[in-house]
Amino acid sequence: MSAADVNQEHPLELESPRVSVKKPAARYDKQGDVPDAERVKRAMQNFVKDFGRTAAIYMESCIHCGMCADACHFYVTTENPKYTPIWKLEPFKQAYKREYGPFAWLYRTLNLKGKITVERLEEWQELIYDSCTVCGRCSLMCPMGIDIASLVSLARHGMAKSGLVPHELWAVAERAEKEGSPLGATPKVFKDRIEWLADDHEVEIPVDKEKADVMCTMSSIEIMKYPDSIVATARIMNHLGVDWTFRLDGYEATNFGLLSGNAEWQKDMSLKLINAAIACGAKTLVLPECGHAYGALRWSGANMYGKPLPFRVMHIAEFLAENTKSGKLKLKKLGKSVTFHDPCQIARRGGAIEAPRDVLAALGVELREMEPGKGLNWCCGGGGGVVTIHRADPIRYKVFQLKMNQIEETGAELPVTSCANCRQTFDDGQAHFKWDKKMNSLLEMVADNLEGKAA
């Protein structure tokens, strides 16, 4: 089935002769037994707490031009004004106007901005979590330079403090905090997987070396669903002759504290990686194919640590690009046409746009860019924790059609990406729509095409 066919056959409810998804009943999730008044108080206190100078400037700068709407995949595919990115921040903005802004006294006195109710926050839970992947495309398009995506993340802090997070997202975040992994990839599970993978694939996978130049990490989705990523990492590192290791005290790069809005959990998850890298004296910490892992540690890690990190932080695509450009990593020519899906947090938010293209060039592929592509590429629709929220499935599938159309229009043989979360979203979308395109991992593609010995 082509993307064009899917577009015609699947409205938002996604009913078709072959595919049927029952629309979930409307619900709003709460954690704990806190009275509603207390929930609102906590949300407002934390909204206000996050209003620094930059956030205040953003709040005052919006000219309501609507350009962010046309940048949002949720708005573009539904044309529903409630999905306009800046509207998703309305409770956040109301808290600012009433409690923090220069005319807060006036807003309170004349009740120009009404008090936020728990019902309002429950309504906004869908907008802040279900229909925002924090992809940053709206931020890129805003003529006033407002980083709407970062404000959504700040708004999630207040929602988390008030216990108003979608329950699936909260559950995996809580599990990550308690067990070390959102999907149950505990240190024991990870160690066991490494042992059988090393045996089955006859590859050496070092664990818990006391000293190593490079510390590698994995995301939970790779450990549990795409374990070949572990093997691919080991093959490449061994091929290059790198002094490297995995560490059982810091291997899980996925940061569901960040995605849920729980800043304390975000810090805990970041510090595990930081402390493990310091313990083994790593000069470089390599992050896996995971977009939000990159954002959490590469751009927020030093803030969590409280000072500059004593090692480099690199996404695996950046590491591969560095070694291909230096001539150390030589690859066989693939001879295929490829289109590359840029993960939002790595490319648009992180700036690592050319690295995967340098790797693809070393593979000798014919790269067919999507339109729009690179930093303007459309999000897959599953980031920001959205893929975990089942009630969001109908709208997530609808926005996924943008990606299907983009890929189909390139005519490329192989779609490739460097984010396992995107890959999971593609696999789910492929199964749902009976689509004939399979997303490929850049990391695994490199591991499958190593040539000779490293220089």
Structural domains in the chain?
A: 3-24+327-447 (no CATH), 36-164 (1.10.1060), 179-324 (3.40.50)
Percent of the chain whose pLDDT exceeds 90: 78
> pTM of the predicted model, to two decimals?
0.90
pLDDT of residue 403: 96
Element (H, E) at 370: none
Region 261-285: what's the mean pLDDT? 97
pLDDT of residue 238: 98
**With 50 as the cut, is the pLDDT of residue 49 above it?**
yes
**With 70 as the cut, is the pLDDT of residue 16 above it?**
no
Q: Distance between CA 61 and CA 329 in Å, rounded?
A: 47
Range name among 43-57, 275-289, 368-382, 394-408 with the lowest pLDDT average: 43-57
pLDDT band at 89 (very low <50, low <70, confident <90, very high): confident
Q: Distance between CA 296 and CA 216 in Å, rounded?
A: 16
pLDDT band at 97 (very low <50, low <70, confident <90, very high): confident
Region 291-318: what's the mean pLDDT? 96
Residue carrying the six token digits 């009630």: 391
Percent of the chain whose pLDDT exceeds 70: 93
Region 303-323: what's the mean pLDDT? 97
User: Which tokens go with 446?
Assistant: 């490199």
Range name among 14-23, 98-107, 139-148, 249-258 with the lowest pLDDT average: 14-23
**With 50 as the cut, is the pLDDT of residue 57 above it?**
yes
Q: Which residue has the higher pLDDT, 163 or 23?
A: 163
Q: Distance between CA 130 and CA 156 in Å, rounded?
A: 12
At 187-214, the pLDDT tens digits run: 999 999 999 999 999 999 999 999 999 9
Element (H, E) at 244: strand 244-245
pLDDT band at 24 (very low <50, low <70, confident <90, very high): very low
pLDDT band at 4 (very low <50, low <70, confident <90, very high): very low
What is the average pLDDT score of the chain? 90
pLDDT of residue 26: 53
**With 60 as the cut, is the pLDDT of residue 5 above it?**
no
Region 51-66: what's the mean pLDDT? 83
Q: Which residue has the higher pLDDT, 58 or 74?
A: 74
pLDDT of residue 453: 60
Residue carrying the six token digits 């429950």: 122
Q: Distance between CA 155 and CA 263 in Å, rounded?
A: 11
Cβ partners under 8 Å of residue 118, min gap 6: 36, 37, 39, 40
Residue 100: left if φ>0, alpha if ψ -120 to 50, beta else—which one? alpha
